[in-house]
Amino acid sequence: MIQIGIIGGAGYTAGELIRLLLHHTKVNINFVFSTSNAGNKISDVHQDLIGTTNMLFTNTINLEVDLIFLCLGHGNSKAFLTQHTFSKNTKIIDLSNDFRLTHDKEFKNLSFVYGLPELQKETIKKAQHIANPGCFATAIQLALLPLAHYKLLQNDVHINAVTGATGAGTSLSKTTHFAWRDNNFSYYKPFTHQHLGEIHQTIQQLQTGFDAAINFMPNRGNFSRGIFATAYTKFEGSLEKAQKLYTNFYKDAVFTHVSSKQVHLKQVVNTNKCLVHLHKHENKLLITSTIDNLLKGASGQAIQNMNLLFDFEETEGLQLKANFF
Amino acid sequence: MIQIGIIGGAGYTAGELIRLLLHHTKVNINFVFSTSNAGNKISDVHQDLIGTTNMLFTNTINLEVDLIFLCLGHGNSKAFLTQHTFSKNTKIIDLSNDFRLTHDKEFKNLSFVYGLPELQKETIKKAQHIANPGCFATAIQLALLPLAHYKLLQNDVHINAVTGATGAGTSLSKTTHFAWRDNNFSYYKPFTHQHLGEIHQTIQQLQTGFDAAINFMPNRGNFSRGIFATAYTKFEGSLEKAQKLYTNFYKDAVFTHVSSKQVHLKQVVNTNKCLVHLHKHENKLLITSTIDNLLKGASGQAIQNMNLLFDFEETEGLQLKANFF
Amino acid sequence: MIQIGIIGGAGYTAGELIRLLLHHTKVNINFVFSTSNAGNKISDVHQDLIGTTNMLFTNTINLEVDLIFLCLGHGNSKAFLTQHTFSKNTKIIDLSNDFRLTHDKEFKNLSFVYGLPELQKETIKKAQHIANPGCFATAIQLALLPLAHYKLLQNDVHINAVTGATGAGTSLSKTTHFAWRDNNFSYYKPFTHQHLGEIHQTIQQLQTGFDAAINFMPNRGNFSRGIFATAYTKFEGSLEKAQKLYTNFYKDAVFTHVSSKQVHLKQVVNTNKCLVHLHKHENKLLITSTIDNLLKGASGQAIQNMNLLFDFEETEGLQLKANFF
Amino acid sequence: MIQIGIIGGAGYTAGELIRLLLHHTKVNINFVFSTSNAGNKISDVHQDLIGTTNMLFTNTINLEVDLIFLCLGHGNSKAFLTQHTFSKNTKIIDLSNDFRLTHDKEFKNLSFVYGLPELQKETIKKAQHIANPGCFATAIQLALLPLAHYKLLQNDVHINAVTGATGAGTSLSKTTHFAWRDNNFSYYKPFTHQHLGEIHQTIQQLQTGFDAAINFMPNRGNFSRGIFATAYTKFEGSLEKAQKLYTNFYKDAVFTHVSSKQVHLKQVVNTNKCLVHLHKHENKLLITSTIDNLLKGASGQAIQNMNLLFDFEETEGLQLKANFF
């Protein structure tokens, strides 16, 4: 049993990690660090865990654990790692955006690898420190990876995606107030969402010299979890050719599946899956990609990365029953 | 055109009042007082009013208006009226719970009348100051008034009611956070909700000596507006007799209707109606009562009271299109 | 009082028409025709109307009324008008897509005018028969009209829009089943939605020779009513210039308003408004347009057209309280 | 690996069974019988299973499997078992209400045991045929079992419960149409719900002679899954005493937990848990009980019964991640 520490235990992503790790057969949660909740039961915050665990949050950190998950707000992981030095054997998976971009990957004596298994599973297996991808970034990259891999991204890409309220985190805010969001719809950060950096970086890694635009419109949906993204771009080949490329590219992916039928969000909610669907209209290829923002878009993918880091079965602890209804 | 002032203009009930008053043919909104929003457009807060009004919030109060609506938090109306003295001709409709109970009705030189038109329309017409009923209190009283009027409340009453998220006001809170409330259900204040005081007072007024229990379970529903209440109690007569009593009691009520068919919440959402339905099972009479918590349960009833105070048509400004879907 | 007949009274659009017409001061509903519901109370189907009207559905048609609204399924209006001949003075407003396109506008001895007031208010005023625009078509045209009017649509347009479940009509279907749609999201008819015909026709009318692509992705949202559409295209001028063009174009529009602040769907739900917002990013102009699909997107716009046909105040009967929460 | 057959594979409960059994380590799904879907992929109906299973529905039945789950409409299980005779070693778990009541338990040469583990785990372990309890019946019995066990149910019980739309099954109906149910609330079958039979039978089994009333008001909530039930009755002892009785009664229950804090529905959604909470007000004990109607209220409990029948770990395959957000 490897020993796990979780830093920042009160948010959504930490909650999902704890839910998953409690039933993972190869790990033990050594501690869950939360300054604001130290001494309280974990199930006081993550209240579905009543009857599952009696663990308490703690304000002490075991620097010798085998693996640390950092579930801190963006910008706070660097600060935390400046203040705390773990054993050189301790692996780290960071869920923030602090170490995802090339110029952030080397920090102190740590070296972070971008943790998108569909992009670079072998590199992840050999890594020590993982920068876990963003939620929108995951959904969108999984829509575009095969095209970039085969150097077939030639034109502007037009992406529209909608995320659930958990995408905004646990802090109370006007746009996550129930009476505002219920039966409402809106966009935010048009063309400038912070995940575009990761997306561009990956596409450049696969298809150097890509210089068309990636237009990304993120939206707030009136649901709690999930991301549904559509992307279209010019594509000269047939639908069959595209399906072949995608199916081939994802043949070893254990969670990303190409669906021959149209997809909808609830197929993946509460699972670690990404479903991808292709449609061709005239010279446009339309790619749909849908994930659970807290699982494949955050904590599920973090566990997947953990499984790769420790050479566990990649699906261990992640064979989740969908909340299909 | 009578001149209207609104005190505390940023909350839900003030918003609904403004929406309604802007299209009322007999009144003019003289000012909307809000310290936190003074100088801002009303449509910056009540954003559906873009294109409808360019009025600004103000921090000055015209003490000579014909009518003041107080839309302040519970407890704050007394404080406000201690600090501000309106013209003796100014009528006041208070939407808080500060003046609803007998021992609160006389305050300074003001004398408040409980503003439930189905209970005492004639008294309201002659009043100067109105204590507008609470939302749950309105739904539940309208379920029980006929029985109390005919002195037929003999046994314990069992009430279960569910309210939308707007019932909790505009402040951000855990139980109005979207990710918490979406697809959730819970109760609060079992048997001790503060509206029980008004309900008991009214029942005593109609049926002195009633001494059985009124058991009231309030619930939080995962919808934005409306209250759906069911109440049952022993009743010896037939269903037909009950229907006759209710229909007769409400024959002059312009917004409260007895439905011969089962009712559901969305029949009344965004209207000033109360729909009442009766069902008999063995010796129990089941009464359903459903209202929009912000209209018949707050601002709509306040306008109805205004219409009565100023001898306008009772339905003026309140013939609202339901948001049935 | 003009006399009104409604054909096909059980659907959403007929329901909304009835709700609005009952409180319109210049009209009288002469009959509501429904073969399946003949003899039943209108309030048995449109159940919020309990206490508002006791009218019954009928299966007889008064061919002499002043105005007929056709609320029939697409394709059925032509069939109906083939079988029934109204007085030559009877005006007709058809809510289907049967008469919207140029080659459909002349039918028997009838001549239909496309009823988008923001496009051609004066033409509508002189018309006898109106083809009421589609819901998506309304939202999208109101986003693009000013650009087309000033011949500034030069490049491909990229549109993403989401509609509520009422957009699918009252028939039961898998994608309007609650357990499927709740907290779900999906697209349909990518790039081929039937409203594209109306949209292209209008743009050609204003900007002859426009030959770039209009890419339209329609989506199903998990809310009941409303359409939220975003459209972007290359635009060389500044944001200020765009705002000036839009504000100027809509200066006489009574329901379409240019908002300087970002907009969200619930600002317009249960109103006849369209809110338009502009944003510029690099060389792209992003236009947001949001309407209630059943009001400005159907029955509200039909009443607006009626007001124009009969020279009533354009806003008569349409000053609706939003269901903002 | 025991071999499993599922009869009636297209509904919600069959879908949940399949989702759970696919990851159960001790069983193999031998066949899923569905006449309407024979030859189709299971993942065409239960669409979250894309990438998880390639199994097809079949129209042939293996009469020699170790265990059959019957997921047929109420009344159809008897018909099915009249037409099909399984091996005498085949165990049967029926999810309908056909065999729950004493007078239904013996059928042909089969003998059914009521499958509520908290009531009679040892009896279930020795059984061959299980009548799986109803969803409301499960939630309500788990609220009342300890009182009945200690013969402390002395007075009328007042129960209000709300269920999600999946409680109505997969058939399309008016009350599960999205535009009707979204943001709506209503009751049905007041005081006469069919699950009262099971509830009374169990209470009599524990507390012979109980003759007070069980008043049960079922409601339709605007969410997809879950049941939230409150029950109150007179109770002379202290809250502490009640908590002690409940905690003691459920000390060996692996899925039913007594929470010292108030509970809400989403704590149990997508899990097999039941959370029970106690509150005392004056002489009333208020018991809250909440479950997922499709899991502890149907398929999860069926798996739990399977685990008991085959002497597997009781929690095997049921350690589910909640869909807490």
Question: From 3.30.530.20, 3.40.830.10, 3.40.50.720, 3.40.50.2300, which CATH number describes the C2-132+298-309 domain?
Answer: 3.40.50.720
CATH of domain D135-293: 3.30.360.10
pLDDT of D230 reads: 98
Where along chain A do its domains lie?
2-132+298-309, 135-291
Q: How far is B247 from chain C (nearest CA, A)?
A: 12
**Which pair of structure tokens corresponds to residue C161?**
């829009």
pLDDT of A50 reads: 97
Cβ within 8 Å, pair D324-A268: no
Give all strands of the β-sheet with D256-259 in edge-to-edge order. D186-187, D214-220, D157-163, D227-234, D284-291, D274-281, D256-259
Q: How far is C61 from chain D (nearest CA, A)?
A: 29
Q: What is the ipTM of this complex?
A: 0.97
Touching subunits for chain B (3+ Cβ pairs under 8 A) = A, C, D
Cβ within 8 Å, pair D183-B263: no
Low-confidence ranges of chain D (pLDDT < 50): none
Nearest-Cα residue of chain C relative to residue B23:
C319
Residue of C182, A167, C271 whose CA lies nearest to B223:
C182
pLDDT tier at C84, thresholds 50, 70, 90? very high
pLDDT of B14 reads: 98
For residue C164, list chain A residues with Cβ-Cβ distance below 8 A. 183
For residue B224, list chain D residues with Cβ-Cβ distance below 8 A. 183
Tell which of A170, A320, A325 to mutate to test the D interface (max D CBs under 10 Å): A325
pLDDT of A249 reads: 98
Cβ within 8 Å, pair A23-D325: no
Asked: is A135-291 a CATH 3.40.50.300 domain? The reply is no
**Which pair of structure tokens corresponds to residue B97?**
């719970």
Catalytic residue, candidates D135, D258, D274, D295: D135
Torsional class of C84: left (φ above 0), alpha (ψ -120 to 50), beta (otherwise): beta
Q: How far is A236 from chain D (nearest CA, A)?
A: 28
pLDDT of D142 reads: 98
pLDDT of A3 reads: 98
Greatest alpha-carbon pair distance for chain B in Å reads 61
B96-139 per-position pLDDT tens digit: 999 999 999 999 999 999 999 999 999 999 999 999 999 999 99
C125-158 per-position pLDDT tens digit: 999 999 999 999 999 999 999 999 999 999 999 9
Cβ within 8 Å, pair D178-C173: no
Residue of B133, B123, B143 whose CA lies nearest to B242:
B143
Catalytic residue, candidates A17, A42, A81, A135: A135
Catalytic residue, candidates C10, C95, C127, C135: C135
A80-120 per-position pLDDT tens digit: 999 999 999 999 999 999 999 999 999 999 999 999 999 99
Task: Name residue C54's amino acid.
Answer: N
For residue D13, list chain C residues with Cβ-Cβ distance below 8 A. none
C221-234 per-position pLDDT tens digit: 999 999 999 999 99
Cβ within 8 Å, pair D275-A324: no
Residue of A128, A239, A117, A219 whose CA lies nearest to A168:
A219
Q: What percent of chain C clears pLDDT 90, i.e. is strictly above it?
A: 99
For residue C323, list chain B residues with Cβ-Cβ distance below 8 A. 225, 269-270, 323
- For residues D73 and D68, what is the distance between their CA atoms, to the nearest angstrom? 15
Q: Is D108 helix (H, G, I), strand (E, B) or coil?
A: coil
pLDDT of A47 reads: 98
Q: Which residues of A touch B (CB under 8 A)?
A: 12, 164-166, 170, 172-174, 176-179, 181-183, 222-225
For residue C164, list chain D residues with Cβ-Cβ distance below 8 A. 179
For residue C222, list chain D residues with Cβ-Cβ distance below 8 A. 178, 182
Average pLDDT, chain B: 97
pLDDT of D181 reads: 98
| Mean pLDDT, residues C88-103 | 97
Cβ within 8 Å, pair B177-A176: yes
Q: Which residues of D touch C (CB under 8 A)?
A: 12, 164-166, 170, 172-174, 176-179, 181-183, 222-225
Residue of B124, B101, B175, B157 whose CA lies nearest to B289:
B157
Question: From 3.10.20.30, 3.40.50.2300, 3.40.50.720, 3.90.75.20, which CATH number describes the D2-133+296-309 domain?
Answer: 3.40.50.720
Task: Compare CB distances from B224 to A166, A172, A179 and report the shortest one's residue.
Answer: A179
Q: What percent of chain A clears pLDDT 70, i.e. is strictly above it?
A: 100
Sequence-distant contacts of D54-59: CB under 8 A, at least 24 apart: D55/D29, D57/D9, D57/D10, D57/D32, D57/D33, D58/D31, D58/D32, D58/D33, D58/D34, D59/D33, D59/D34, D59/D35
pLDDT of B40 reads: 98
Catalytic residue, candidates B18, B71, B135, B137: B135
C-alpha distances (whole Å) from D69 to each of B189, C303, D16, D306 are 42, 56, 12, 9
Cβ within 8 Å, pair D187-B162: no
Q: Is B274 helix (H, G, I), strand (E, B) or coil?
A: strand
Angle of helix A117-125 relative to helix A196-206, nearest 10 degrees?
80
Nearest-Cα residue of chain D relative to residue B164:
D183
- For residues A175 and C280, what is the distance between their CA atoms, to the nearest angstrom? 23
Average pLDDT, chain D: 97
- For residues C275 and C262, what is the distance between their CA atoms, to the nearest angstrom? 10
**Which pair of structure tokens corresponds to residue D106?**
């013996």
Q: Which residues of D touch B (CB under 8 A)?
A: 158, 160, 162, 164, 179-180, 183-187, 190-192, 215, 217, 219, 221-226, 228, 230, 232, 262-266, 269, 279, 281-282, 284, 286, 288, 325
Burial of D270 (0-12, 13-18, 19+ CB in 10 A): buried
Cβ within 8 Å, pair C321-B44: no
Nearest-Cα residue of chain A relative to residue C220:
A264
Contact (CB, 8 A) for C284 and C232: yes
Give all strands of the β-sheet with A186-187 in edge-to-edge order. A186-187, A214-220, A157-163, A227-234, A284-291, A274-281, A256-259
For residue D183, list chain C residues with Cβ-Cβ distance below 8 A. 224
Q: Do domains C2-132+298-309 and C135-291 have the same CATH topology?
A: no
Is there a catalytic annotation at residue C71?
A: no
Cβ within 8 Å, pair B215-D158: yes
For residue A261, list chain D residues with Cβ-Cβ distance below 8 A. 44, 47
Task: Compare CB distances from A321 to D261, D264, D320 and report the shortest one's residue.
Answer: D320
